[in-house]
Structure 1
Amino acid sequence: MNTEILSRIQFAFTIAFHYIYPPLSIGLGIVLVIMEGLFLRTGKPIYEQMTRFSIKIFSLIFGIGVATGIVMEFEFGTNWAVYSRYVGDIFGSALAAEGIFAFALESEFLGILLFGWNRVSPRVHFFSTIMVALGSMFLAIWIVVANSWQQTPAGFKIEREGMKARAVITDFWEMVFNPSSMNRLSHVIIGSFLAGSFLVLSVNAYYILRKRHLEIARAGFKIALTVATVASLLQLFTGHRSADGVAHNQPAKLAAFEGHYDSSAVADMYLFGWADAKNQTVTGLKIPAGLTFLLHQDFTTPVKGLNAFPKENRPSDRAIGFVFQTYHIMVAIGMTLIGLTLLASFLWWRGKLFQQKWLLQIFIWSVLLPQIGNQVGWYSAEVGRQPWVVYGLLRTSDALSQSLRAEQVWFSLIMFTFVYALLFVLFLYLLNKKIKHGPVDFHAEEIPDNSRRDNPILNLWKRYSVLTCPRGGFWCLEPS
C-alpha cells in the first residue's frame, strides 16, 4: 500500500477508536443532569446513588477520551502537512474555541462533580453537572463545525496559489454556520444521546436480570429509556434533514449512498443490497422511486446520479461499495433503535416491562448498536466525500505530507494499534469492575466534620459564604 492509503487507514483507525468515547460522555452527561435534577426535586437517596455511580463511569470515559484524542492533532502535522497549511486558519480557530470554551469548561467543573459532594451546596453541584454536560456538547460543536466546513466550505477566501495556497477566514460566523454544520451537528448530538442512554440501559438491565440494586436499576432504566425513546425518534428527523442537505450540497455522495448511477432518473431507495460498481447495478430489496419521494415528495422528479459527475470527482468504485453498505447499516440500526425503544415504552406503560427477561437481555447487548451506528455513519460521511478532503477545493492525494514515507506510517500504525488495544482492554476492565461493584450507599462515605475544619482553603471559603449569603444560596458552600 502507498503512503496515502496507509495514512488514511491510520487516521481512520485513530479517529474511530477515539469516537467511541465522546458520544458516550455527551449522552451520559444529559442523563446525569436528569438524575441529579430528580434528586434535588424529590430528595430520594436512590437518585443520589445512581448519580454518584454514573459520575464514576463518566470520569472513566472522559479520561480515555482525552488520551485517545490527542494523537489525531499530531497526525495533522505529521501525515497531512499540506492540509494543515491549507485549512490552518479555519481548523485552528475551531480547535482553539474547543480548548477554551469546551474542554476547559468540562474539565474544571468535572473536578467539582467528582470531589464536590459534601463540600459544595447541592445547587452548586447540580450547576457543575449542567456545565460538564454542556462542555461535552461544546466539544462536539467545534469539531463538527470544522469538519462540516470541509464538507461545505463557506466564509473564506484562498490566498496564494498551487501548493502554497491556504484558506483564510473572511466571515467567522459564516464559516461556523456553513451550509451543513447545523444539520450535521444535530445528527451527531442526537446520536450521542443514544450512545449514552443505551449504556445506562445496558447496565441497569444487567442489574435487573441479576436482581441487584433493583430499586435504583428500575428507576435508572426508566430515565434512560425516556431519553433513548425521544432521541431515537428525533434521529429519524435529523437524519432526513441531513440527507436533504447532502442532496443539495454533495449530490455525488448521496448517489453513492444509494448506488444511483443514472445521471438523470428517478432514484430507488434500498433497504439492503449490494452495489456492483463495475456493472453499475444494485441488487437488493428496494422501494421503487423511494429516494426521489423522500427528496422531492413525488415519484417522478429525477435525481442526479454518479454518471453526471466526472469519474475523478466522485468516489471510487471501491468506495461506492463500501459507502453503500455503511450507510444502509446506519439506517437499519436507527430503525432498530426506534422499534426497540417504542416496544419497551409500550411495555412500561402496560406495567410489564421488567417481567420481559428476553427484552432485558437484548438491552444488555444493545449498547453496541448506537456505537456501530455512529461509526458507520461517520465513515459514510467521510468516505462519501472522496476524492476531496475539502470538498471541491483540496484533494486528499494533494493534502499529504510530501516527505512522509510508507514505512514510517506502517511503524506508527502498528504502534498505535498496540497502544490503543491496551487502552481498550484497560477501559473494559475498569468499566466492568465498576459495574460489578455497582452503586452503594454513598452516605456512609461522607467526609467527617473535622476534615473540613482542618482544610484552610475550605474553611476560608466557608467564612466567605457565611458573610455573603448567610441564609444559604446558589453560590454558598453550605445549603441553608
Structure 2
Amino acid sequence: MDVVTLSRVQFAVTAAFHYLYPPLSIGLGVMLVIFESLWLRTNNPLFHQLARFWTRVFALTFAIGVATGIVLEFEFGTNWANYSRFVGDVFGSALAAEGIFAFFLESGFLAVLLFGWDKVRRGTHFLATCMVCLGAHFSAIWIVVANSWMQTPAGYHIVETPLGPRAEITDFWAMVFNPSAMHRLSHVICGCWQAGAFLVVSVGAWYLLKGRHRDFARQCLKYGLAFGLVASLLQLVTGHISAVGVARNQPAKLAAFEGHFETSARAPLYLFGWVNEKEEKVYGLAIPGLLSWLIHGDVNQPVTGLKEFPREDWPPVNRSFQFYHLMVAVGFALIGIALVGCYHAVRGTLENHRWLLWVLVFSVLGPQIANQAGWFAAETGRQPWIVYGLMRTAEGVSPHLKADVVLASLLLFTFIYLLLFAVFLYLLNEKIQHGPDEADLIPTGKLALPFRPEKA
C-alpha cells in the first residue's frame, strides 16, 4: 500500500479504537446524573449504590479514552502535515476550545466526583457530577464542530502563503455553526447516550440472569431501558435530519449511501443490498419512491445521482452504502429492543423471559457497532476530499513520509491499542464480577443518610 492509504488506515485504526470510550463516558455521565439526582430526591441508599458503582466504571472509560485519544493529535503532524498546515487556524481554535471548555471542566471536577463522596456535601458532589457530564458533552461538541467543518466548510477564506494556501477563520461562529455541525452533533450525542444506556442495561440483565444483586439490577434495567428508548427514538429523528442535510450539502455522499447513480424522481430507498460499481447497479430490496419522499417530502421530486459529478469525485460507493445501511439497521434494532424491554419492564414480566435478558446483555454491542459504522460512513462518503471541495485526501499527507515507517507505526499502534482494549475489558469484567459494594448502601461522613431498605 502507498503512504496515503497506510496513513488513512493508521488514523482509522486509532480513531476507531479511541471512539469506543468517549461515547460510554458521555452516556454514563448522564446515567450518573440520573442516579445521583434520584438519591438526593428520595434518600433511597440503593441509588447511592448505583451512582457509586457506575462512577467507578465511568472513571475506567475516561482513563482509557484519554490514553487512546492523545495519539490522534500527534498524527495530524506526523502523517498529515499538509492538511494541518491548511486547516491549522480552524482546527486550532476548535481544539483549543475543547481543551478550555471541555477537558479542563471535566477533569477539574472529576477528582470531586471520584473521591469526594465522604468529603463534601451532597449538593457539592452532585454539582461535580453535573459538571463532569457537561464537560464530556462539551468535548463532543468541539470535536464534532471541527469534523463538520471538514464536511461543510464555512466562515473562512483562503490565504496564499509561501508554503501554499491556508484556510483562515473570518467568522468564528459561522465556523462553529457550519451547515452540518448541529445536525451531526445531535446525531452523535444520541449515539453516545445509547452507548451508556445499553451498557447499564446489559449489566443489569446479566445480574438478573445470574440471580445476583437483584434490586440493583432492576433499577439498572428500569432507568437504562427508559433512557435507551428515549435516546434511540431521538436518534431516529436526528438521523433523518442529518440525512436531509447531507442531501443538501453533500449530494454525492448521499447518492453513495443509497447507491443512487441516475438523477431521478421516485428514487428508491434500499433496505439492504450490494452495489456493483462497474455496472452501476444495486442488487437488493428497495422501496420505490421512499428516498425522494424522505428527502423532499414528495415522491415526485428528483434525487441527485452520482453521474452528476465527475467520476474522480465519487466516494467508494459500495463501502459507503454498506456502512450506512449497517448503522441504520442497528439503529432500528435498538429501538425494537428498547421497546420490548420497556414493555416487559412496565408489566413486571422482564425476569420471566430469559431469552430477552440475553438479548439485553448483548445489546451493549449495538450502539458501538452503529457508532463505528456511522463514522466510517461519514468519512468514507466524504472521499476523495479531506476538506470537502477544498483539499483532496492525497494532498493532505506529509510530503516526506515513507510507507515503511507508517507501516511500522501502524503495526505498533495496533498492538498497543489491542493491549489497552484487553486491559479495559479485563478491568471492566473485574468490576462487573465484583458487583456493587454493600457498604455503599450505608453512606457515611457528610453524606450520611438514614438507611431505608428497599421494599420488596
TM-score over 0.5 for the alignment? yes
Deviation of 1:265 (Å):
4.3
Give the aligned residue type for 2:439.
F
The 5-angstrom pairing of residues 49-88 of structure 1 reads 49-88=49-88
Distance in 1, Cα, partners of 2:111 & 2:224: 24
C-alpha offsets along residues 336-382 of structure 1, whole Å, 9 cap, x if unaligned?
01111111111122221222111011111110010000000000000
Distance in 2, Cα, partners of 1:131 & 1:92: 24
Give the aligned residue type for 2:419.
L
C-alpha offsets along residues 68-116 of structure 1, whole Å, 9 cap, x if unaligned?
0000000000000000000000101111111111001111111001100
Alpha-carbon distance change, 478 to 439 in structure 1, aligned in 2, over 3 angstroms: closer
**What secondary structure sits across from 1:165 in the alignment?**
strand
Which position in structure 2 is the counterpart of 1:101? 101
Superposition RMSD in Å: 1.6
Which position in structure 1 is the counterpart of 2:454? none
Which position in structure 1 is the counterpart of 2:167? 167
Matched, 1:30 2:14: no
Q: Is the 8 A contact 2:265 2:292 kept in 1?
A: no
**What secondary structure sits across from 2:124 in the alignment?**
helix
Q: Is the 8 A contact 1:121 1:478 kept in 2?
A: no
Distance in 1, Cα, partners of 2:274 & 2:3: 29
The 5-angstrom pairing of residues 131-150 of structure 1 reads 131-150=131-150
Q: Is the 8 A contact 1:158 1:167 kept in 2?
A: yes
Structure showing greater radius of gyration is: 1
Q: Is the 8 A contact 2:48 2:441 kept in 1?
A: no
Calculate percent identity across the aligned residue pairs.
59
Matched, 1:438 2:424: no
The 5-angstrom pairing of residues 417-428 of structure 1 reads 417-428=414-425
C-alpha offsets along residues 428-466 of structure 1, whole Å, 9 cap, x if unaligned?
00000000000012358977x8xxxxxxxxxxxxxxxxx
* TM-score normalised by length of structure 2: 0.96
**What secondary structure sits across from 2:168 in the alignment?**
strand
Deviation of 1:313 (Å):
1.7
Which position in structure 2 is the counterpart of 1:309? 309
* TM-score normalised by length of structure 1: 0.91
Distance in 1, Cα, partners of 2:163 & 2:328: 39
**What secondary structure sits across from 2:174 in the alignment?**
helix
Deviation of 1:302 (Å):
1.1
The 5-angstrom pairing of residues 111-150 of structure 1 reads 111-150=111-150
Of residues 330, 333, 341, the one that matches 2:330 is 333
**What secondary structure sits across from 1:160 in the alignment?**
strand
Distance in 1, Cα, partners of 2:306 & 2:299: 19
Q: Is the 8 A contact 2:265 2:299 kept in 1?
A: no
Which position in structure 2 is the counterpart of 1:453? none
Of residues 317, 320, 340, the one that matches 1:320 is 317
Distance in 2, Cα, partners of 1:391 & 1:222: 43
Q: Is the 8 A contact 1:159 1:165 kept in 2?
A: yes
C-alpha offsets along residues 207-258 of structure 1, whole Å, 9 cap, x if unaligned?
0111111011101210111100101111110000000000000000000000
Deviation of 1:164 (Å):
1.2
Deviation of 1:7 (Å):
0.3
Distance in 2, Cα, partners of 1:368 & 1:294: 28
Give ranges in structure 2 of 5+ residues lacking alignment. Answer: 450-456
**What secondary structure sits across from 2:386 in the alignment?**
strand
Give the aligned residue type for 1:228.
G
Give ranges in structure 1 of 5+ residues lacking alignment. Answer: 450-475
**What secondary structure sits across from 1:303 in the alignment?**
coil
Distance in 1, Cα, partners of 2:443 & 2:222: 28
Distance in 2, Cα, partners of 1:72 & 1:220: 34
Of residues 349, 354, 357, the one that matches 1:357 is 354
Q: Comparing both chains, which one has the higher relative contact order based on Cα–Cα distances under 8 Å and sequence gaps of 6 or more?
A: 2
Matched, 1:400 2:387: no
Which position in structure 2 is the counterpart of 1:91? 91
Distance in 2, Cα, partners of 1:254 & 1:446: 53
Distance in 1, Cα, partners of 2:278 & 2:314: 15
Matched, 1:387 2:384: yes
Q: Is the 8 A contact 1:265 1:304 kept in 2?
A: no
